[in-house]
Amino acid sequence: MATPAIELTAAQHAATMSGYMRDGEQRARELGNRGPIRFDDNGEIHPEILDEYWRCGFYVFEGVFGEAEIDELRADVDRVLAGAPVEPGASVDKHGRPAIGSEFARPSFRFGAPLSDPVGGTSKNKGRHPVKMLEPVPAADAPKHVVARIMGNLQLMDSCLRLYGHHGLLSVAAAVNGKDFVPYNEVTFVKEPRLGVSIAWHRDGTTHWDAPDWDQGAHGFNYMAQLYPSTAANGVWVLPGSHKIKDMDIPALVRDSGSERIEGAVPMVCAAGDVVISNRQLVHGSFANTSPDRRITLNMGFFPRKRIENVTVTPLEGDVVTYDAERIAQRTRMIAVGIDARQQRFSNEPRYVYEPLLGKEDENRWNEHTRESVVKNYGVRDFYI
Ligand SMILES: O=C(O)CCC(=O)C(=O)O
């Protein structure tokens, strides 16, 4: 479904969105689904957090990582962006050097035209973005292409591997998906000021909607770790509670709302260092970033094992595949290596124990050997449901 072509400058777009953003932000703050990661007296994730997560479909964990770690993560992202291919498909960066990530089996960057909506209203991504968002006109001096996403964070940025091994985040993953949870993938969303592309409204899950044992957690969740503030203007918006509903008609939501500004949706409002847990069944999306504020979000997702093991899928990219125990065993080693990488850097923090790999700590130490044997090209074993 294409929305009517309206030519808006970035400033006009920002003005059009402002009332919706103000109201959405107020509703987001009133939801009551935010706070630090908390444990109860038994060392389990506090049940109030889980109740709020399941009620809303997302929860904002405040202050998960501090300033030193924010600096390291930002520096790594800046380094990778500086070494990106000079244009889509190029093998060299803007200085003519081999682009970062060119040694890996899969492309590390996705591009889009500034302020565009690359997938909305198309059949791309299994047609799961049915409505095109407004595409404001970028400034005359804007580049032709901007990096929209960085793929495979854990092999490109050691700081991301360390964040992946975070005790609190992995404890929440176990509380939501079971102690034998398995990984999804790791992607950086890049929304530069007055350039960042929109990600049209969609739901992530594509596999288990008709499963007899479908439930509100059937397609797992994503963490969204914020390196800069996430605002109503540059952040992801979600329709709270929509993860519980099987049939959500996104074109009808847009029609009934009179525009892509879906009624009842709220933005993820976060400070740098906050991490959102976001159910993949939520209706969600983000608008073209016509604000003056950069957003960089590190996504890392996890699934319940039973939704992956022996499941046959057609991923968004690639051929039909059945996920077997061997692939899970190999891919979950990234969790163990991440835990060790974190422990080496933040030795005063508790070390998370990932039960499926208990006793295999020695073979999963973070070192130059596991960089080559476990981490390099780990993404070829990502899961997608
Ligand atoms: O970060 C964004 O703008 C979009 C994130 C998203 O759509 C996703 O994680 O599925």
pLDDT of residue 125: 86
Backbone angles phi, psi at 91, to 5 degrees: -100, -5
| Measured CA angle at 221 (ends 199, 285), to 5 deg | 15
Please tell me the predicted confidence (pLDDT) of residue 161.
98
Atom of ligand 1 nearest to the CA of 286: 3
- pLDDT score recorded for residue 2: 53
The Å distance, Cα 285 to ligand 1 centre, comes to 6
**149 near 112, Cβ under 8 Å?**
no
User: What is the pLDDT at residue 198?
Assistant: 97
Query: What's 10-304's CATH class?
Result: mainly beta
Nearest CA to ligand 1 atom 7: 285
Nearest to 21 by CA among 341, 311, 336, 262: 262
- The three-class DSSP label of residue 164 is helix
pLDDT of residue 318: 80
Query: Which residue's structure tokens are 């540059």?
Result: 234
Q: What are phi and psi of 6, to 5 degrees?
A: -125, 125
* Angstrom distances, CA of residue 233 to CA of 98, 267, 285, 288: 35, 8, 12, 8
Cβ count near 28 (within 10 Å): 24
Q: Which residues contact 37 (CB under 8 A, 6 or more apart)?
A: 45, 49, 61, 64, 168, 169, 171, 172
CA of 238 relative to ligand 1 center, distance in Å: 10
Entry pTM: 0.97
Which pLDDT score is estimated for 5? Answer: 62
CA atoms within 13 A on the CB side of 246: 9
Tokens for 355, please give them. 């039960």
Beta bridge partners of residue 182, listed in sequence order: 303
Q: CB of 159 closer than 6 A to ligand 1?
A: no
Q: Using an 8 Å Cβ cutoff, are 12 and 135 in contact?
A: no
CB 274 within 8 A of CB 61: yes
Kindly give the residue spans of alpha helices, DSSP state H, lying in the chain.
Answer: 10-30, 47-56, 67-82, 124-127, 153-156, 158-164, 167-177, 250-257, 325-345, 368-370
Decide whether any atom of ligand 1 lies within 6 Å of the 151 Cβ.
no
- pLDDT values of the chain reduced to their tens digit, one per residue, 385 residues: 555 567 899 999 999 999 999 999 999 999 999 999 999 999 999 999 999 999 999 999 999 999 999 999 999 999 999 999 999 999 999 999 999 999 999 999 999 999 999 999 998 888 889 999 999 999 999 999 999 999 999 999 999 999 999 999 999 999 999 999 999 999 999 999 999 999 999 999 999 999 999 999 999 999 999 999 999 999 999 999 999 999 999 999 999 999 999 999 999 999 999 999 999 999 999 999 999 999 999 999 999 999 999 999 988 888 899 999 999 999 999 999 999 999 999 999 999 999 999 999 999 999 999 999 999 999 999 999 9
What is the 294 CA–ligand 1 centroid distance (Å)?
15
Which residue's CA lies nearest to atom 6 of ligand 1? 285
